[in-house]
A = this chain, B = another copy of it.
Amino acid sequence: MTALEPRLLEVRKNVLKQNDIVARSLRDRFHTAGVFVVSLVSSPGSGKTAFLEKLLTMLRSNYRVAALVGDLATENDAARLARSRAPVKQIITGTLCHLEAAMVQNAINEEKWDLGQLDFLFIENVGNLVCPSSYDLGEDLRVVLLSVTEGEDKPLKYPTIFNSADVAIVTKSDLAVPVDFDWPATQRNIQAVRPGMRVFQLSAKTGDGMQPFLEFLAERLAESRAAAAV
């Protein structure tokens, strides 16, 4: 759109290439340690932090869990997640609208977390439906969240982030009635951009629908460890 764009694109390509190298090394490290890594992406206010707090609290009785959380400017989310009593580290991105693999690597190194002592590591990305799509963080599973209050058209309007994710979660299902949420339209729009994508619907506030997602995570962890043992 400007005369400078080709040069900007080239520099961006180099940044992404560099990110892919770090992400690959992170992924190897995660697999060697046997930790299953899940990242969360969504627009601001979709309920990533509320969902993650609930998830960490529910998983803690049976699994060893930790979380990294990215934000532009505050440590609010780490403070909220700390209530789950799981180890949590905030990553401040400044003006960057996404996490990069190097930030994840630095945070893990700074915290001196022993990845071999973890079952699940969660990475909550900066709230953004565009920027995080292109940055591999070495995760095993990328989850895109969409709240019932945002409107059913979001998958069509932000197809790249839905394409880069493995599963989708529709959050705040307790508000589905007051906002006249159209579940069939949402399913149709998700399937249009990402055919076959598995979609969960839940409310972190009431706990409804959390259990199927917990079971799904347990299965994925077991599968990942079985594959590593072969």
**Which residues of A come within 8 Å of B, CB atoms?**
1-5, 7-8, 11-12, 14-15, 18-19, 43-46, 71-74, 76, 95-97, 100, 102-103, 126-131, 147, 149-151, 153-154, 156-160, 172, 175, 178-179
Within the complex, the shortest CB–CB distance from A137 to chain B, in Å, comes to 13
**Chain B residues with CB under 8 A of A126:** 130
Do the beta carbons of B8 and A4 come within 8 Å of each other? Answer: no
For the complex of A and B, the 5 pairs showing the least CB-CB separation, nearest first, are: A45-B150, A97-B130, A149-B149, A43-B44, A43-B43
| Distance, CA A45 to CA B158, complexed state (A) | 11
**Chain B residues with CB under 8 A of A157:** 44, 71-74, 76, 127
Do the beta carbons of A11 and B19 come within 8 Å of each other? Answer: no
The residue that A43 contacts in the complex, of B1, B127, B131, with Cβ under 8 A, is B127
Given contacts A5-B15, A45-B154, A73-B158, 18 further A-B contacts (CB under 8 A): A1-B103, A2-B102, A4-B15, A43-B44, A44-B129, A45-B151, A72-B130, A73-B157, A73-B159, A97-B128, A97-B131, A127-B157, A127-B158, A128-B128, A130-B131, A131-B131, A175-B175, A175-B178
Q: List 7 A-B contacts (CB under 8 A).
A: A1-B100, A1-B102, A44-B157, A73-B157, A74-B157, A95-B160, A128-B130
**Smallest CB gap from A3: residue in B:** B18
**Chain B residues with CB under 8 A of A103:** 1
| Distance, CA A96 to CA B134, complexed state (A) | 12
**Chain B residues with CB under 8 A of A46:** 45
| Distance, CA A1 to CA B7, complexed state (A) | 20
**Chain B residues with CB under 8 A of A153:** 74, 76
| Distance, CA A191 to CA B150, complexed state (A) | 25
Within the complex, the shortest CB–CB distance from A132 to chain B, in Å, comes to 11
**Chain B residues with CB under 8 A of A158:** 44, 72-73, 127
